[in-house]
Structures are given as structure tokens and as C-alpha cells.
Amino acid sequence: MPTSASSPKLSAPREQGGTPTALADVTASDSTLRRFLHGLPGVDAVGLEARAASLGTRSIKTTAKAYAIDLAISMVDLTTLEGADTPGKVRALGAKAVHPDPTDRTTPTTAAVCVYPDMVAVAKEAVAGSGVKVASVATAFPAGRAALDVKLADVREAVAAGADEIDMVIDRGAFLAGRYMKVYDEIVAVKESCGTSARLKVIFETGELSTYDNIRRASWLGMLAGADFIKTSTGKVAVNATPANTLLMLEAVRDFRAQTGVQVGVKPAGGIRTSKDAVKFLVLVNETAGEDWLDNHWFRFGASSLLNDLLMQRQKLATGRYSGPDYVTVD
């Protein structure tokens, strides 16, 4: 059981693009991998949702709220993934990522901008010298329905254009059909294509996995295959990040570190629109994974409209009066 690891090897090394040595035998064959994933404890759905809901009732006020808002801003992956994206729009987004609130230069920068591979070069130029990273979705985002070499070419293009982070989607069809080894091999291959420069985020599209058990299995599968981040969803389906599925993934990264010593980040994406929601997620992080994850190296929000609400709340805290959408940029 992952939660009751008898001897956590905290300094265990991790081979590039592969399973940590502590769990090497798990991925030896299709059947051992299946046995491991199906041997994970079942998720208590009612308990999970109740836990997520109760953590959502914490009251975060005054200085704690100010801290949480700044932290949340610094964790935003400012995202534009539209067919209508133009270089101009990506440049505007880059400028916003660097100076989210131009009237208040104490505002932290966002963590990254997230774009399609063909816009990486534009985005890279827009955020140059600011420390803001450029993330690119790849592997035939958002459906993930393409041949492996097409997906890998997609990844290589993004990395060559300078992407610091790659957001890949798993093959949900293969996962739901129980072909875990195929999904595993694909993630490993993509991780290899990322090379040493780019961090890999693996998107499960939790809204399509249908059960909490599947989300737990997918989380472990992704981490075994070498994900640097596990990410809930693409933002393109009806159900995206929820407190419950994010809590489940946070438990998975906590248990994974306890067992292997390898820390993996979490990124809920889609459907987080208000500061209140963002703060609830931060409470989940702190209470589940712990303080080590309260950093934009280990936790991100995939969002676009969330940033404006965070900025309005920030202005409210600074001035004492409610702000409005006239005082933030329209994206």
C-alpha cells in the first residue's frame, strides 16, 4: 500500500524518463503494472468529497488572504489555447504574465504562459528576461488521438522553440481499455523527447476517466513513467478541476514521495475562476501534500480568467474598496 510505505527511501535516485528505482519492478511488464495499479487502495468517494468540502470551509482573512492571493498569482499558468490565437494575443498575454497589474509593480509575476507549440517562439520573446516560463501543450492536444511519432514531433517542435514545460495528454482510450503499458511507454517516450531542459506535465483529463479509482491509477501511472507534474484536465471538457479530484492527486504525490523520495507537482486546470476557489485549492495543498508544495515549482493553476479575479481581490485588499472589471485587462 502506498500510504503505508515501510521504509521510504527519500534520497532514491530517479533515472531519466523512467521509474524510480524503488518501484522499478512494478513496470517490468504489462501484468506487473496492472497488478500494481489495481492493487492501489480503492477511493472512498463519499469520504473524499466530504474531506474536500470541509477543507473548503476554512476562513482565510487579512494577512493570510493577502499571502494566499500573491501565492496564487505566482502559481498561475496564464493560458490561451484557442484556435483563434494570434501572435498579438500571445504577446499581450506575455505582457500580462510579466506585469499582471501594471498599476502596482509589487504584484508577483505569474508562473508561466501556456500556449500551443506554434506560439512558443512568440511567447518566449514576450516574456524574455522576466523569469516567467513558457509552457506548451503538445501530443495532439486536447484529444491526444494521433500516432506516437506525430505526438513526439509535436513535443520536439515545442522544445526546439524554447518551451520550458510540456503539457502532454495521455491516451485516455488506451487507459480506459486497460492498456496501461501503452500509456506508460508513451509518457516515457515523451519524457525522453523533452530532454533535460523541459519539465513534463501529464494531463489525465479526469472528466473522462469516470471514476476516482481511475484517477488514482492514472496519477500513479504518470508518476511511475516520470511525470514532473500531474495535471487534472485540458479545460476543454465539461468537468475540469474539482476540489475532490485535485485532493486525490495531492494524496497521490504525497504518497509517491513517501515511497520513492521523488517529489511531483500538481496542476489543477480549468473551471477555477474566483480567488475564493483558488484559496480553497491552496488549503487543500497545505493540508494534504504539505508546505513543500506551496511553491510555483510544485503547484500551478491552469487558468485564464482566474488572474483577473485575483487582481481585483488584491486591489480590494490594498485600497479597501471593491474593484471592478474596468480596472483589469480584458483578454
Partner 1 sequence: MSEKSEKSEKSEKFERLSVLKTYKLYVGGKFPRSESGRVYEVADSKGNWLANAPQSSRKDARDAVVAARKAFGGWSGATAYNRGQILYRIAEMLEGRKDQFVREVGDAEGLSKAKAAAVVDAAIDRWVWYAGWTDKIAQVVGGGNPVAGPFFNLSSPEPTGVVVVLAPQDSSFLGLVSVIAPVIATGNTAVVIASEKSPLPALSLGEILATSDLPGGVVNVLSGRTTEIAAPLAAHQDVNAIDLAGADEVLAKELEIAAADNLKRVLRPQPVDYSATPGTERLTAFLETKTVWHPTGSLGASGSSY
Q: Shortest distance, CB of residue 66 to partner 1, whole angstroms?
A: 18
Q: With beta carbons less than 8 A apart as the criterion, state whether 241 and 215 touch.
A: no
Q: What are phi and psi of 186, to 5 degrees?
A: -65, -45
H-helix or E-strand spanning residue 88: helix 87-98
Residue type, 47: G
Site string for partner 1, 265-304 (x = CB under 8 A): ----------------------------------------
Residue 83 binding partner 1, by CB under 8 A: no
Catalytic option among 133, 267, 277, 309: 267
Give the interface segment with partner 1, choosing from 21-29, 108-116, 118-126, 314-322 (CB under 8 A).
314-322
Q: Is 167 in the active site?
A: yes
The burial of 245, by beta-carbon neighbours within 10 Å (0-12 exposed, 13-18 middle, 19 or more buried), is given as: buried
Using CB under 8 A, pick the residue from 62, 106, 322, 330 that binds partner 1: 322
> Which is closer to partner 1, CB of 80 or CB of 275?
275
Cα separation, 288 vs 218, whole angstroms = 19
The burial of 329, by beta-carbon neighbours within 10 Å (0-12 exposed, 13-18 middle, 19 or more buried), is given as: middle
> Which is closer to partner 1, CB of 27 or CB of 323?
323
Residue 174 CB coordination number (10 Å): 17
Q: Is 267 in the active site?
A: yes
Q: Is 277 in the active site?
A: no
Q: Shortest distance, CB of residue 70 to partner 1, whole angstroms?
A: 20
Catalytic option among 167, 255, 277, 309: 167
> Which is closer to partner 1, CB of 129 or CB of 320?
320
Cα separation, 24 vs 198, whole angstroms = 23
Q: Shortest distance, CB of residue 323 to partner 1, whole angstroms?
A: 5
Residue 320 binding partner 1, by CB under 8 A: yes
Using CB under 8 A, pick the residue from 47, 57, 321, 330 that binds partner 1: 321
Radius of gyration, CA atoms only, the chain:
19
Give the interface segment with partner 1, choosing from 10-18, 88-96, 262-270, 318-326 (CB under 8 A).
318-326
> Which is closer to partner 1, CB of 105 or CB of 321?
321
> Which is closer to partner 1, CB of 47 or CB of 320?
320
Residue 67 binding partner 1, by CB under 8 A: no
SS (H, E, C) 105-147: CCCCCCCEEEECHHHHHHHHHHCCCCCCEEEEECCCCCCCCCC
> Which is closer to partner 1, CB of 139 or CB of 323?
323
Euclidean distance between the first and the last CA atom of the chain, given in angstroms as a whole number: 46
Q: What are phi and psi of 219, to 5 degrees?
A: -60, -45
In terms of phi and psi (left: phi > 0; alpha: psi -120 to 50; beta: otherwise), the region of 50 is: alpha
Give the interface segment with partner 1, choosing from 122-130, 141-149, 243-251, 320-328 (CB under 8 A).
320-328
Active-site positions read 167, 231, 267
- Give contact residues for partner 1 (rule: CB under 8 A): 315, 320-327
